[in-house]
Structure 1
Amino acid sequence: MRVVAFVDEGHGHREAARHFRVSPKFVNDLIKPRRETGSLAPRPQGNGGGYGKLAGVTGRIEARVADKGEITLDELAAEPARTHGIDMHRGTVWRALRGLGLTHRKRPSGA
């Protein structure tokens, strides 16, 4: 990146900010990770997963879907509330199922 190369040539952060018409904070934010990691690669985003309210019960949810293939999201959301005291919305259960690689299949009635 040109800003980093300009600073590497011996110019100060404020001088680089004026030269490239950016804020000094932008220059500092570019230089700091490179100083710490030696790379300009972006940092990983998100929390890494596995830390939500369903982290302890995803295995149980997956087993329930495998046991009873026609279970609804509302039923899946109600079970942890009864057994573990974890209150959740059906959207939370859907995101957990999607994270497990399980999909919703629409089937015609009577099939």
Structure 2
Amino acid sequence: MGKPHPVELQQRVVAHVEAGNTHTSAAARYDVSVKFVNEMVKLKPETGSLSAKPQGNPGGGKLTSHADWVRSKVDAKGEITLDELLLLADEKQISVHRATVGRLLQRLGLTHKKRPASA
């Protein structure tokens, strides 16, 4: 993900528009896009600040709240496949992809790779 523009630049752009200039002239003067100027002008009254919004995924997922349930199913059965866990997720009426189950198992440290026997 890209880095946000410096707050000083954002303040100068908004001040330029508030001084009565157009969004297009502000974009040309500060070498930014018109869309950036539009977003900054809208952001200031909405949030009262020009600080950048948080980026990325805040964490978690559909199964995070069910992690204890998944761990108990794995402990009870010993070895269980992703497809079997998907069927169990259907019992709890959760619609997830098998990759989602796999990522949860990785976060919980419950993955197991089969390795060929050494000669």
Q: Same fold (TM over 0.5)?
A: yes
* 1:76–1:93 Cα contact (<8 Å) kept: yes
State how 1:32-111 maps to structure 2 within 5 Å: 32-35=42-45, 36-46=47-57, 49-50=60-61, 52=62, 54=63, 57-81=66-90, 83-98=91-106, 100-108=107-115
Relative to structure 1, is the Cα distance of residues 13 and 7 closer, same or farther in structure 2, using a 3 angstrom cutoff? farther
Match of 1:27 in 2: 37
User: TM-score normalized by structure 1?
Assistant: 0.62
**Cross-structure match for 1:16:** 26
* Structure 1 runs (4+) greater than 6 angstroms displaced: none
Query: How many residues are aligned here?
Result: 106
Instruction: Give the unaligned 5+ runs of structure 2.
Output: 1-5
Percent of residue pairs bearing the same amino acid type = 31
- Which runs of no fewer than 5 residues in structure 1 stay unpaired? none
Q: In angstroms, what is the RMSD of aligned CA positions?
A: 3.2
Partner of 1:4: 11
The DSSP-based 3-state class of the residue aligned with 2:112 is: coil
Per-residue deviation, 1:16: 0.9
Per the alignment, do residues 108 and 60 of structure 1 end up closer, same or farther by CA in structure 2, a change over 3 Å counting? same
Partner of 2:3: none
TM-score by length of 2: 0.59
Task: Between the two structures, name the one with larger relative contact order (CA 8 Å, sep ≥ 6).
Answer: 2
CA distance in 2, matches of 1:108, 1:45: 35
What SS class does the counterpart of residue 111 from structure 2 fall into? coil
